């Protein structure tokens, strides 16, 4: 139950500490807009978006006035266009991008995301058409955002797509050179992309989502920073607890706004994204939170540990405040959108290598990074591959949003304005990666990709390898396989050096010499240690 103290505290957070709802994002399915004729497909897309989202901005503004809670952005995400337009008889999807832009302008939203392709395991014809349409689409539109998922823990990394995205980003920068390559700020390359992300530029409406849904992204780095000022010099246990309590308050507000907006719009409420999203405003910085923990400058030794604790504490506090948590849910570290990150990068403490290390423990990764305009496409692709590998191996979402600023060199500054802020041009390594990227193919998925598959479903896969033996990594599968005979072990006394055999369908469970073995009956070779 809210009391007067809670209300006054929240109001103080809004007035003095930059607390706001970063975005309410309406996800809209366009699967019913597919059509072989490009014009008909575009007409269907425009009509559906403008019909579903016609009241989104008005409802957002009404809630702002009634509750006194700022809602900075109203956005739309749609089904990946490579899927929607796959049947269209056309070589380019630029016209569809223009249609999305027109619909966004009509609805009055800030951005529309979903000019996307999911190519972690391979590219369809429609995927290639979309990817190669990105540069022209970003140059021809104002509010359209593009994303490409090139890797996942289950599939590995599509290095052909990674190589192509390096070239695409370079071309996008060239076509928007008059704006310092601003088009690249609307393009993000993912690994393990999520279907319910409300934040741009990576938002799209996944095929597993409802017909229409409302997702919320909150923002509160300034609130967390102020809270930590009250626990100076205290142990990290106290710091973590303070962050958890603060994250709870921030998320609770997001839950309130999301459910109210959902009710008024007549669409299901989706998720609250727990991500701490900074802005260029002073006092609204993730970097300053890390420095408040005791670091002299963000990027120095200890930064990764501080960020890991921040990320974990935010999630622990947030999950108690909302029934539905999703999206990216972590701490964002976009350089151009965080005044503390900008200062650290300008001072030389924060570099690409350190940001890459920080990626391992937070959301997204290399976000809004400006690099010299003469950076090669292969180098950009190699940076993408590094980030995708971190996401793939650690079973987390990572992404790259990088801007090779035309005509700019290290020390120059790229100005993008608004929430996108400005970014110092950061150096990249001068040693080439061309031969690495030129290999193409696919980096295989790690063993981690197998852990979610039941043992029974993988029998065929093991048979293809020439054995029916179950790998040692399959702890869940082994547990399932022996659970059927657990009662037998409880009632049968097995001598230490004796052997006991218990049949389970095609498997035998053997106890010998104090160790357990799982043996496949169809194969004479293959028992593995349990």
Q: How much is the pTM?
A: 0.80
CB 499 within 8 A of CB 527: no
Looking at the domain assignment, is residue 349 inside a domain? no
Burial environment of residue 214 by CB neighbours within 10 A (0 to 12, 13 to 18, 19 or more):
buried
Q: Which phi and psi angles does 170 have, rounded to 5°?
A: -60, -45
User: Are the beta carbons of 451 and 476 closer than 8 angstroms?
Assistant: yes
Strands of 8-155 (E only): list them: 20-28, 71-78, 111-118, 144-152
Residue for token pair 């996942």: 152
343 occurs within a structural domain:
no
The set of residues, in sequence order, having a beta carbon less than 8 Å from that of 249 and lying 6+ positions away, is: 9, 10, 13, 223, 321
CA 422 from chain center: how many Å? 22
In a domain, 310, yes or no: no
Strands 111-118 and 413-415: unpaired
Each residue's pLDDT expressed in tens, for the chain with a length of 530 residues: 445 455 555 555 554 455 778 889 999 999 999 989 999 999 999 999 999 999 999 999 998 888 888 888 899 999 999 999 988 888 899 999 999 999 999 999 999 999 999 999 989 999 999 999 999 999 999 999 999 999 999 999 999 999 999 999 999 999 998 888 888 999 999 999 888 888 888 899 988 898 999 998 887 788 888 888 888 889 999 999 998 888 888 888 888 888 889 999 999 998 888 788 777 776 678 888 888 898 899 889 999 999 999 888 888 888 887 778 877 777 777 888 888 888 888 888 888 889 888 888 887 778 888 999 899 999 999 999 999 999 999 888 899 999 998 888 888 888 877 777 788 899 999 898 999 999 989 999 888 777 754 443 444 444 444 444 444 444 444 444 444 444 433 434 444 334 444 444 444 444 444 455 454 444 334 444 44
Q: What is the residue whose two structure tokens read 């749609």?
A: 78
Q: Is residue 504 part of a domain?
A: yes
Q: What is the mean pLDDT of the chain?
A: 81
Question: What's the pLDDT score for residue 8?
Answer: 52
Residue 411, CA distances (Å) to 280, 438, 447 in order: 19, 30, 42
Domain count of the chain? 1
What pLDDT score does 64 carry? 86
Identify whether 498 is part of a domain: yes
How many CA within 13 A on the CB side of residue 409?
0
Q: How far apart are CA 510 and CA 57, in angstroms?
A: 65
Determine contact, residues 510/499, Cβ cutoff 8 Å: yes
Expressed as residue numbers, the domain containing 470 is 451-529
* pLDDT in the model for residue 21: 83
Within a domain: residue 517? yes
447: which DSSP letter?
A: G
DSSP string, 459-480: HHHHHHTT--PPPTT-HHHHHH
- For residue 400, what is the enclosing H or E element? strand 398-405
What are the residues facing 190 on neighbouring strands? 149, 399
pLDDT at 100: 94
- In 3-state terms the chain splits into helix, strand, coil percentages (rounded to 5) of 45, 20, 35
Q: Which residue has the tokens 């978006």?
A: 49
Please report the beta strands in 153-242, taking only residues with DSSP state E, as ranges in sequence order: 156-158, 187-191, 212-219
CA-based nearest residue to 363, from 391, 342, 335? 391
Residue-level pLDDT at 267: 92
Quote the pLDDT of residue 452.
Answer: 53
Identify whether 480 is part of a domain.
Answer: yes
pLDDT at residue number 382: 94
**pLDDT of res. 6:** 53
Residue 375 in domain: no
In this predicted model, what pLDDT tens digit does every residue of 249-280 receive, in sequence order? 888 888 888 888 999 999 999 888 878 877 77
CA distance 163 to 383: 10
């Amino acid at each position: 139950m809210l009391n007067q103290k809670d209300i006054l505290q929240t109001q103080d957070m809004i007035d003095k500490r930059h607390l706001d709802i970063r975005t309410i994002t309406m996800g809209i399915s366009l699967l019913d807009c597919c059509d072989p004729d490009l014009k008909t497909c575009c007409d269907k897309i425009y009509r559906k978006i403008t019909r579903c989202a016609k009241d989104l901005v008005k409802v957002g503004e009404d809630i702002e006035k009634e509750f006194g809670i700022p809602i900075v952005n109203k956005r739309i995400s749609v089904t990946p266009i490579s899927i929607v337009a796959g049947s269209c008889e056309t070589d380019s999807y630029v016209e569809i991008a223009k249609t999305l832009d027109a619909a966004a302008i009509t609805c009055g939203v800030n951005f529309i995301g979903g000019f996307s392709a999911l190519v972690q395991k391979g590219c369809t014809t429609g995927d290639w058409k979309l990817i190669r349409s990105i540069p022209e689409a970003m140059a021809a539109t104002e509010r359209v955002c593009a994303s490409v998922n090139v890797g996942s823990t289950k599939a590995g990394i599509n290095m052909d797509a990674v190589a192509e995205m390096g070239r695409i980003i370079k071309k996008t920068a060239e076509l928007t050179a008059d704006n310092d390559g601003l088009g690249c700020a609307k393009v993000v390359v993912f690994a393990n992309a999520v279907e319910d992300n409300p934040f741009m530029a990576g938002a799209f409406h996944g095929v597993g989502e409802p017909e229409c849904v409302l997702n919320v992204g909150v923002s509160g780095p300034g609130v967390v920073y102020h809270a930590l000022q009250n626990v100076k010099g205290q142990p990290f246990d106290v710091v973590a607890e303070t962050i958890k309590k603060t994250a709870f308050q921030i998320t609770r507000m997001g839950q309130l706004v999301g459910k109210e907006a959902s009710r008024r719009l007549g669409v299901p409420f989706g998720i609250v994204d727990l991500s701490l999203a900074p802005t260029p405003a002073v006092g609204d910085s993730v970097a300053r939170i890390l420095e408040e923990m005791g670091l002299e400058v963000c990027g120095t030794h200890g930064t990764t540990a501080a960020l890991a604790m921040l990320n974990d504490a935010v999630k622990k506090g947030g999950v108690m405040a909302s029934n539905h948590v999703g999206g990216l849910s972590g701490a964002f570290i976009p350089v151009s959108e965080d005044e503390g990150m900008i200062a650290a990068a300008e001072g030389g403490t924060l570099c690409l290598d350190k940001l890459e290390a920080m990626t391992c423990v937070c959301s997204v990764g290399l976000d809004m990074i400006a690099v010299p305009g003469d950076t090669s496409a292969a180098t950009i692709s190699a940076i993408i591959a590094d980030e995708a590998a971190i996401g793939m191996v650690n079973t987390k979402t990572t992404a790259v949003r990088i801007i090779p600023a035309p005509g700019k060199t290290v020390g120059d500054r790229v100005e993008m304005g608004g929430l996108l802020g400005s970014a110092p041009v950061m150096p990249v390594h001068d040693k080439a990666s061309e031969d690495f990227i030129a290999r193409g193919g696919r980096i295989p998925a790690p063993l981690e990709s197998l852990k979610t598959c039941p043992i029974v479903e993988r029998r065929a896969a093991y048979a293809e390898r020439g054995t029916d033996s179950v790998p040692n990594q399959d702890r869940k599968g082994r547990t399932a396989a022996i659970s059927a005979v657990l009662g037998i072990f409880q009632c049968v006394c097995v001598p230490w050096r004796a052997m006991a055999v218990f049949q389970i369908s095609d498997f035998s469970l053997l106890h010998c010499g104090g160790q357990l073995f799982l043996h496949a009956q169809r194969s004479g070779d293959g028992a593995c240690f349990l």
